[in-house]
Amino acid sequence: MLPLSTRPFLSASILAALLVAPLSVSSAWADSQAATRLIDVQAHAEQQVIPDKASLSARLWERTPAIAQRDDTQANPEALAKARTRLEERAANLIQQIEAAGLSRDAITAGSLNVQPEIIYEPSSKDSQQDTPMARTRIERPFKLEITNLDQLPTLLDALTEAGVNSLDGVTYDLQDRDAASDATLKMALERARHKAELMSDTLGVNLGAVNSISEQQVPNYQPRMMAMASDVMEKSGGGAEYRPGTITLESTVNVRWEISE
């Protein structure tokens, strides 16, 4: 055990060390903050891109004859087979019409058959207010066309109409190389950030140093233009229609931090 006479001296030394240590840490932190002076910039870029690709969706379907609904009502296999045969014949004719219009078979996707029961109601009689439930089955096949030459669109729409599609679900305009378009938008945002940082440093009379950090606040916003088909019958065009896909908006936002050099 230490002599009693040394205890006050040790206590005073420890206390002095504790008082000096926070001052040293605080001073080092202040020095580091003073040494690293920063410029923070946020930049946003936006560009309008003309689509060069389109997806056209359509559906064919056939129905079995409606029969009175009962608890044990099931689809008639023979009626179902006949409806499927009619549907397949129409589907084959549709593909032939599309190929004749100039689209390759590789650009045509025929989806799987969809079998769906339907319930309809027919009046029992003129004097009766109750409707009789009837049951039937619908067999449906979807089709999707990938079009890289937008000039073909009017011809393909005419071919689908002539083939007797039951539903034309619309057109989705897109870009064949969306990555390149998104990269170009991001580059625009980064160039805008540099321009703003150089403007700020020149105006305030400081030197722009190295980049300290970069972050992308908003991933390039890209949405295919859905159901964007619009037609205007042009005068003196022989009754033809002009299809205008419009434009797709791409956006990007970045945060960039520069150091201020001496």
Give mean pLDDT, residues 253-259: 96
Hey, what amino acid is at 87?
L
Domain boundaries, the chain: 38-49+178-261, 53-174
User: What is the pLDDT, as a whole number, of residue 243?
Assistant: 64
User: What is the pLDDT, as a whole number, of residue 175?
Assistant: 93
Whole-number Å distance between alpha carbons of 65 and 135: 8
Output the pTM of the full model: 0.67
Instruction: Pull the structure tokens for residue 256.
Output: 């960039």
CA-only gyration radius of the chain, Å: 36
Classify 53-174 by CATH class: alpha beta
Nearest to 168 by CA among 3, 257, 56, 251: 56
Instruction: Pull the structure tokens for residue 121.
Output: 């109601």
Name residue, tokens 């109409």: 161
3-state secondary structure of 206: coil
pLDDT at 3 over 80: no
Name residue, tokens 């206390």: 15
User: What is the pLDDT, as a whole number, of residue 82?
Assistant: 93
HSE-CB for 167 with a 13 A CA cutoff = 11
Does 3.40.640.10 match the CATH number of domain 38-49+178-261?
no
pLDDT confidence bin for 44, thresholds 50/70/90: very high
Whole-number Å distance between alpha carbons of 97 and 91: 10
Residue with more model confidence, 36 or 28: 36
Burial 31-67, CB ≥16 within 10 A → b, else e: eeeeeeeebebebebeeebebbbbbbbbebbbbbebe
Give mean pLDDT, residues 236-251: 65
pLDDT at 170 over 50: yes
3-state secondary structure of 171: strand
